[in-house]
Amino acid sequence: MTELGLVHIYTGDGKGKTTAAVGLAARAAGDGIPVLFVQFLKNMPTGELVSLQKLGIPVIRGKAGEGFTDTMTGGELAESRQIHDRNLRAALDAARRGECGVLVLDEVMAALNLGLLDGEPLREFLDHRPEGVEVVLTGRNPPQWLLDRADYITEMKKLRHPYDRGITARRGIEE
Amino acid sequence: MTELGLVHIYTGDGKGKTTAAVGLAARAAGDGIPVLFVQFLKNMPTGELVSLQKLGIPVIRGKAGEGFTDTMTGGELAESRQIHDRNLRAALDAARRGECGVLVLDEVMAALNLGLLDGEPLREFLDHRPEGVEVVLTGRNPPQWLLDRADYITEMKKLRHPYDRGITARRGIEE
């Protein structure tokens, strides 16, 4: 067994990015590795949250609606940025204290791309991170500085999706 | 919410196919949907097995070593086929009896492509399946008849992988 300590990116327009992060968290937890799961933007009550908790995986998240930047006021945007920055900082601090062997930053790309998260603390963490922490990053369009620091990059490519024929997200499957 | 009943394929050479299937199973279970997980070929004791069981998800699997067709004797091949066919039949029967809302057939493509599984019962099931059963299929190189029956097709494309620089599978992450 090689030590933990690599960086994963799950990206692309296909289904399965968050899903794979949840699966990886479940696998690691099943092997007794402590996992910390941070969910950016998405804050709906979801089945994955219930299951992660059942597996003893702590989940850090903000509050509902943070992703809808189009309809947010300046004050709401500033508040959302504060929440995301604080959540990231809390997670990185926990990782530095050795509290997790796997750190999942779900939809961190979206938070970065929407300008709802300062990437600098993450870049700093990746460049000087403690040994034995595997980092999993998900979301579309990762910035180049993140790609440069990744050991795994998997693109989830949508070849077919029922959205394309008008079937919307279903609870327990997409949400 | 749209009813369950669609067919997912996770394929490609990238990391994340089984992982996404595990994540989807966890999400559905967290929403109270009964899941049945069938693992073809891979039978190592893994963290995901522990976690799936913790989530109350029954797992049907064969026995170790079934995937190594190169080193198997004729008798072993025949036995492996029997096990796989029997496991598939048991899972499809359970789905027909309404025992699951999500049926995962993990690495079913590999079992089909190695000639270790008869696909006919699966084709028959997909064409006449009971309502309300979501089917999740994983593995490389799905045959055309499966692609034709899928609602979601996601290709996990490997853009970078540490295998390429000699880092082997790590327990809790890949296994």
pLDDT in tens, A60-84: 988 655 556 777 888 888 888 999 9
For residue B24, which residues of chain A lie inside 8 Å, CB to CB?
Answer: 19, 23, 173
Query: Residue B43: is its pLDDT beyond 70?
Result: no
Query: Residue A45: is its pLDDT beyond 70?
Result: no
DSSP string computed for B109-162: HHHHHTT-S--HHHHHHHHTPPTT-EEEEE-SS--HHHHTT-SEEEEEEEEE-G
Nearest chain B Cα distance for residue A133, angstroms: 12
Q: pLDDT tens for residues A127-166?
A: 998 999 999 999 999 999 999 999 999 999 999 888 888 8
Q: Is the Cβ pair A167, B6 closer than 8 Å?
A: yes
Query: Residue B148: is its pLDDT beyond 90?
Result: yes
Query: Residue B68: is its pLDDT beyond 80?
Result: no
A36-45, B55-64, B72-81, B124-133: segment of lowest average pLDDT: A36-45
Q: Strand A35-39's sheet: what is its strand order? A: A59-61, A35-39, A102-106, A134-138, A7-11, A152-160, B152-160, B7-11, B134-138, B102-106, B35-39, B59-61
Read off the amino acid at residue B112: L
Nearest chain B Cα distance for residue A74, angstroms: 33
Q: How many CB atoms lie within 10 A of CB B125?
A: 20
Q: pLDDT tens for residues B118-144?
A: 999 999 999 998 999 999 999 999 999
The pTM score is 0.89
Read off the amino acid at residue B158: K
Give the model's confidence band at A110: pLDDT under 50 very low, under 70 low, under 90 confident, else very high: very high
For residue B137, which residues of chain A lie inside 8 Å, CB to CB?
Answer: none
- Looking at residue A66, what is its pLDDT? 57
Give the model's confidence band at B161: pLDDT under 50 very low, under 70 low, under 90 confident, else very high: confident
Average pLDDT, chain A: 90
- Looking at residue B45, what is its pLDDT? 60
In chain B, whose CA is at the least distance from the CA of A54? B55
Question: Which candidate in A9, A27, A55, A100 is best for mutational testing of the B interface (most B CBs within 10 A)?
Answer: A27
Mean pLDDT, to the nearest integer, of B49-55? Answer: 94
For residue A21, which residues of chain B lie inside 8 Å, CB to CB?
Answer: 23
Residue B17: exposed, middle, or buried by beta-carbon count in 10 A (0-12, 13-18, 19+)? buried
Mean pLDDT, to the nearest integer, of B36-58? Answer: 88
Q: End-to-end distance of chain B based on CA atoms, in angstroms?
A: 34
In chain A, whose CA is at the least distance from the CA of B35? A172
In order of B11, B114, B173, the CA distances from B92 in angstroms are 21, 21, 30
Question: Which candidate in B19, B104, B138 is best for mutational testing of the A interface (most A CBs within 10 A)?
Answer: B19
Q: Is the Cβ pair A26, B21 closer than 8 Å?
A: no
CA distance A116 to B42: 41
Among the listed residues B44, B37, B88, the one whose alpha carbon sits nearest the alpha carbon of residue B59 = B37
Q: What is the dihedral of CA B169, B170, B174, B175, to 10 degrees?
A: 100
DSSP string computed for B31-70: TT--EEEEE-S--S--HHHHHHHHTT--EEE--TTTT-GG
Task: Measure CB to CB from residue B154 to each of A6, A16, A22 and give the nearest one.
Answer: A16
In chain B, whose CA is at the least distance from the CA of A136? B173
Which residues does residue B100 pair with via DSSP β-bridges, in sequence order? none
- Looking at residue B152, what is its pLDDT? 92
Which run of H or of E encompasses A159? Answer: strand A152-160
- Looking at residue B16, what is its pLDDT? 87
Query: Residue A14: is its pLDDT beyond 60?
Result: yes
Give the model's confidence band at A169: pLDDT under 50 very low, under 70 low, under 90 confident, else very high: confident
For residue A101, which residues of chain B lie inside 8 Å, CB to CB?
Answer: 172
What 3-state DSSP class applies to A152?
strand
Task: Measure CB to CB from residue B159 to each of A101, A155, A170 and give the nearest one.
Answer: A155
Which residue has better confidence, A16 or A8? Answer: A8
Task: Measure CB to CB from residue B21 to each of A12, A23, A55 and give the nearest one.
Answer: A23
Q: How many CB atoms lie within 10 A of CB A37?
A: 26
CA distance B18 to B140: 11
Question: Which candidate in B33, B136, B152 is best for mutational testing of the A interface (most A CBs within 10 A)?
Answer: B152
Give the model's confidence band at B65: pLDDT under 50 very low, under 70 low, under 90 confident, else very high: low
Which residue has better confidence, B73 or B86? Answer: B86
Mean pLDDT, to the nearest integer, of B93-107? Answer: 96
